[in-house]
Chain A
Amino acid sequence: MAHPVEGQQQKLLEELLSISHCEALPAVNTELLILITDTRNAGEEASLKIQLESLENLKHLAMVAGFQTPINS
C-alpha cells in the first residue's frame, strides 16, 4: 500500500506508472494506492527499491503480500 504525501496522489500515481515493473491502482475516495511490482530477479528488485525510495510524493510504503512464482519454464 502506497501512502502519498497529502494532496499528491495523482502525481505519485503518474510517477509509479512511469517506473518499469510497477502497476498502481488508486483508491477513488481515499489517498492510497495499491502498488504491484513484478521483478524477475534480486537485482531488478534492488534497483526498483532505490527508485521507489527516491520518490518525493511517496510518504510511506507498506508491504501487504509477496509471492515468488516462476516466469517461464
Chain B
Amino acid sequence: MGNLNASRRNFVKKMAALSAMTTATALFPGILFAETQRNNASTTGTLDWKKAPCRFCGVGCGVLIGIENGKAVAVKGDPNSPVNKGLCCVKGYHSIIALYGKDRLTHPLVKKNGSYVQTTMQEALDLIASKMQKTITDYGKDAVSIYGSGQWTIPDGYVASKLFKGCIGTNNVEANARLCMASAVTGFLTSFGLDEPMGCYEDIDHADIFVLWGNNMAEMHPVLFSRLLDQRLKRGAKIIDLTTRTTRTSKAADNSILFRPQTDLALANAICYELVKKGWVHRSFVEKHCSFRKGLTDMGYGLEDNYQFKDRPKKINYKDYQQFLEGYAPEKVTQLTGVSEKDIRYLATCYGDPNKKVMSFWCMGMNQHTRGTWINNLVYNIHLLTGKISTPGNSPFSLTGQPSACGTVREVGTLTHKLPHGVVMNKTHREHAAKIWGVPVENIPSKPTYHTVEMFRALDRGDIRFMWIQVTNPMVTMPKLKRYRDAAKKEQRFIVVSDVYPTPTTDIADVILPSAMWIEREGLYGNSERRTQYFEQMIPAPGEAMSDTWQMIEVAKRMGFEKQFSYQKETHIEEIYKEYTRHHEGKKHAMPPLSILKSQAGAQWPFVNGKSTQWRFNAQYDSACSNGEAFHFYGKPDGKAVIWQRPYEPAPEVPDKEFDFWLCTGRVLEHWHTGSMTRRIPVLHKAMPKAYVEVHPKDAKRLQIQTGDLVLLTSRRGTIQLPASVNERGIPEMGQVFVPFFDEDMLINELTLDAFCPISKQPDYKKCAVKVQKA
C-alpha cells in the first residue's frame, strides 16, 4: 500500500508539472522543456515506457507512454523521435487522460423505440451485417457507405476500402480528411502527379525564411512551431505570417502581413509577377523541369446537389504565363488584397533571393477554400519558378491536422476515387488492387460515387440508406449542418457509429459500437512528412470495446467474405500491413517493413534499400529519379512539374448589407478538433471551457459589445449565440469574426456554407457572411 501511495504521489507530482508546462506553453508559445523531459525519464523507474505516435494532430510526434498495472499513467516526448525530439504540446502531454473519461462507451447500444438499449458485441455486429445486406438487396450496393477519418489507423482504412470497394463493390468510401486536406491532395496531383510533400521536417533545420500561409502554427502545430522558433534563436531564421486574423503566430512572427479573405490567390500571383519582373526566375530549372498549363475558370462552388466539374487543362508557354501575370502587378492587387505594394515586394524578395532557403507552410487556411486546389498550385508556382524545391531547406509544405490523414486517407486511399495504389478510374490500378485483394476486378466500379458533402446529400435524398461512421464526428463538422443532421434522422436510414465517447454523431446512430482507442489496440499512423509509425497494444480496451479494424473484419465475415478477411486475431495487424505494402511496391512508394517500424520512431516512404527518402524528386536523395538530371518530377509523364495559370476568383458568399461580416472558423491550442477527447481532459477543458466569437475592438465598440457579452451570429442558414471575445487570444480584422468549432454546445457549423473547391470537393469553412448582434 505504501508503495502504491508513493507511486500515486509521484504520478500526481508529474501531473502537476505537466499542468504547469501546459500553462507555460499557452503563455509562451514555443517554450521548450525537452531537456527536462529527458531528465525526468530517469526518475520514473517503476513505469514500463512504450513508444507510440501521438493520438492527436498530423505532426506525428513520438511519445513514450508510461504503463503501470495495465494502465497508462504518464506520457512524455520521445527524445529519439526526429519529429519532436522529446517535446510535446499541451494536448500530447495530457493525451492519456483522454483514455479514461467517465463516459467512455464500453458496450454496444442499439436504438429501440427511441431509446438506446445495451446489447452484446456479437448481436450488434450481426445486426449491422444483416442491415447492410438488406439495404443492398432493397436499394443496391451504392446505397451503403462508410465514412471514416484521418484518425483511422492504416489497417482500419485498408479493411474499409477492401470491404466496400473490393468485396461489396461500391466506391462509397469517404473520410473526414476530405474536409481538411483534399485540396492539398489535388494540389500535389495537379502540380506533381503524386501526392504528399516532397520534403520533410528536417527542412526546418536548413531554411532561412518560413512563410506561413494562413497557418496559425503556434496553436495548431505548436511542436513544429517551436522548431521554427528554435531556428530563429540559433540561426536568425525569419518567420513571416500571412494571415487574415492576428493570432499567437502573428505575435511571435518577425513580420505579420494581413490580407483580405480569398485574396491569397491574387497575392500569390503578385509574388510570381515580381519574381518574373525582377529576374529572380531560375530559368534553367524552369526550362528543364517545369511545364505550363491553364485550366477552366468560373467553375462554380458546388452549392447544388449532383454538381459535377472536370477540369480541362491546356498547355501554355512561359510567355502566355508572363502575360497572365501582368494583371497581378502589386499596384493592381494592393486594393483587392489589402496588402501594401511594399509588402508584396518584400515577400517576392524573400522568395527571390538566391541566397535564402525558403519553406512555405499551410494547412486549413489554404485547403478549406473554394479555390483550394488553385492556391496550392500557386504556392508551388512560387517554389518552382525560383527552383526552391526538393532540396534541404527549400520546401513547400502542406501540414495535416489528423494523425493519419496522410497514412490512411491519402496513402491507403479511403476516398471515393482512390485505391491503395492509384485510382478507381484506371483499369491497371483496379486490376492491381483486385489481384492483391483476391476479388474479381469487375467488383471494383470504375466510377467514383460521392465525395463527402455529396455523400451526406445522398443520405438526405435517399440515394444512400446505410452509413457506417467511424472515428469522426460529422454532426459537429459538416458545413450547413442542419441539412445533414436532419438527413441522418430521416426514416429508412440506418446509421452505425463507432466511437469512444458519446457525441452529437452518436446521437443520430441506430447502433453505437464502442471502439478501442489508440494504444488500447495495435495500429499504424502516417504523418505529414510521409513517416509511418507503429504502436503496439499497451493496455486493454474497456468493456467490449473493439478496434475499428476488427469490427469491420467481423462484419465482412458475416457478409460472406471470410476468404478475403481470413486474418488471425493475434496477428491481423501484421498480416494486413504486409498485404497493404504490396500495393506500394517499387521505388516511388515502397513502404518500410513492420520490423523497422517496431524498432524505431517511424520511417519515411519511399523506403528503399533500407533507407527513408527525405527529399523526393531530387536525384541525390530519391532513387526513383531516373532521367539522369538533378531533379525528376516522375509523377508526370514528361517528368516535369506544372506551373499553373490560376486566377483570383471571389468567394461564393461575401458580406453584404444584411450579412455584413465575414465568418472564419478554426481551432484552438487546447482542443483537438471537435473536442470529443480533449474536453474530457479536465485541465484542457478548464483552460478552454467553451467557444466564443472574436470581434475586432472597433466593431465591438460600435456594437456595444464587451468580452463575455452574449452575441447573436446569424447567417442565411441559422443563428447561434456565443460569448464575445474582444482583444483576447486572436483579433480578427474589422468586418470579420472568428469562432472555434470544438464546442458541441455552440455548433458554429449551423451557420457555415457547404460550398467547396470544384476540383478537390473540400468545403470552405473560412468564409461565409454573417450578421453580428448583441444578444
Contacts and interface: CB of A to CB of B under 8 A. Distances in A.
Contacts of A38: 9, 13
A29 B24 CA distance: 12
Contacts of B16: 36, 64-67
Contact of B20 (A65, A70, A71): A65
B33 interface: yes
Interface string A11-27: 00000000000010111
A25 B31 CA distance: 12
Q: How large is the interface on A (under 10, 10 to 19, 20 to 34, 35 or more residues)?
A: 20 to 34
Contacts of B581: none
B1 A72 contact: yes
Contacts of B39: 25
Contacts of A47: none
Contacts, number: 82
Contact of B12 (A23, A28, A69): A69
B19 interface: yes
Interface residues of B, number: 32
A28 B30 CA distance: 10
B35 interface: yes
Nearest to B230: A29
Nearest to A68: B12
A62 B24 CA distance: 10
Contacts of B5: 69-73
A28 B34 contact: yes
Interface string A56-67: 000000101111
B17 interface: yes
A34 interface: yes
Nearest to A2: B20
At the interface, is chain A mostly helix, strand, loop or mixed?
loop
Nearest to B8: A69
A64 B19 contact: yes
Nearest to B28: A30
Interface in B8-38: 8-9, 12-13, 15-17, 19-24, 27-28, 30-36
Contacts of B27: 1
A48 interface: no
A67 B23 CA distance: 16
B2 interface: yes
A28 B35 contact: yes
Contact of A64 (B20, B33, B34, B233): B20
Given A26-B36, A27-B33, A34 B20 contact: yes
Contacts of A29: 30-32, 229-230, 233
A32 interface: yes
Nearest to B22: A64
Given A29-B30, A29-B230, A32-B24, A67 B17 contact: no
Contacts of A64: 16, 19-20, 22-23
Contacts of B230: 29
Contacts of A67: 12, 15-16
Contacts of B33: 25, 27-28, 34
Nearest to B36: A25
A27 B12 contact: no
Contacts of B31: 27, 29-30, 32
A73 B1 CA distance: 7
Nearest to A34: B20
Most chain A Cβ neighbours within 10 Å, of B1, B13, B20, B229: B20
Interface string A23-54: 10111111010111010000000000000000
A72 B23 contact: no
Contact of B2 (A30, A36, A62, A73): A73
B24 A1 contact: yes
Contacts of B32: 27-30
B6 to A, nearest CB: 7
B486 to A, nearest CB: 44
B234 to A, nearest CB: 10
A25 B19 CA distance: 13
Contacts of B8: 69-70
Contacts of A71: 5-6, 9
Given A25-B36, A27-B31, A34-B33, A72 B17 contact: no
Interface string B27-56: 110111111100110000000000000000
Contacts of B229: 29
Nearest to A66: B16
A73 B19 CA distance: 27
Smallest CB-CB A-B distances: 5 pairs: A65-B19, A25-B36, A64-B20, A73-B1, A34-B20
Interface of A: 1, 23, 25-30, 32, 34-36, 38, 62, 64-67, 69-73
6 contacts: A23-B13, A25-B33, A25-B36, A25-B40, A28-B32, A32-B24
Given A25-B17, A30-B32, A34-B17, 5 more contacts: A28-B36, A29-B32, A34-B33, A72-B5, A72-B6
